[in-house]
Amino acid sequence: MKVRRSRKGMVGVRLPEGEEEWLELAMRCGFRVKAMAAVLEVGERTLRRRFRREVKERLWEWLRRTRMEVGRRWLREGTFVKEVAGRLGYGSVSAFCRAYRRRWGRSPCEERERAR
């Protein structure tokens, strides 16, 4: 992580380096940009700009893709759909199921059953 310096030269929080550290931050913040920016003590726009510079992908696209990949992995490990939806920060199980079907072409329950 890089140490961020404010305009007055004070040392701030460290910014994540690499996708793994960004993923750890995103998971801690429930995949919410606003929460991530608050933890890093930067504005949302600054976060998006720095993320794109570091990862070479738009933050919202990365969050959407990564969220689904993590969810798929958890389902294949046997985690219940309701738990996966909650851990990924979805407001409801049905919202997660719709997003999952859109991304992978099958329901989370079908994915979980395939893994058995």
10-67 pLDDT per residue, tens? 345 677 888 889 999 999 998 999 999 999 999 999 999 989 988 899 999 999 999 9
* Integer Cα distance of 19 and 107 in angstroms: 27
Q: What percent of the chain has pLDDT over 90?
A: 67
CB 44, CB 37: distance < 8 Å? yes
Query: Residue with structure tokens 């049905």?
Result: 94
Long-range contacts of residues 86-94, Cβ cutoff 8 Å, at least 24 apart: 87/27, 88/30, 88/31, 89/30, 89/31, 89/32
Q: What percent of the chain has pLDDT over 70?
A: 89
